[in-house]
Amino acid sequence: MIIWSGLGFFVAVIVLGCALAANLIADAMTGSGTYWDENRWTLGVAMLVAAVLCWFVGRYLRGRKARTLIDKQTGEEVIMKPSHSLFFIPMDYRGPILAVVGLALLVKDLVS
pLDDT digits (tens, 9 = 90+) for 38-56: 888 999 999 999 999 999 9
Domain boundaries, the chain: 8-111
The residue among 54 and 32 whose pLDDT is bigger is 54
C-beta separation of 96 from 55 below 8 A: yes
Residue 108 CB partners (closer than 8 Å, separation 6+): 40
Look up the pTM and report it. Answer: 0.84
Edge-to-edge strand list for the sheet holding 89-90:
4-5, 85-86, 89-90
* pLDDT tens sequence across 79-97: 888 888 989 899 999 999 9
Output the average pLDDT for the chain.
90
Pairwise CA distance, residues 104 & 36, whole Å:
17
C-beta separation of 90 from 42 below 8 A: no
**What is the distance, to the nearest Å, from the Cα of residue 47 to the centroid of all Cα atoms in its chain?**
8
pLDDT band at 10 (very low <50, low <70, confident <90, very high): very high
Residue 19 has pLDDT above 90, yes or no: yes
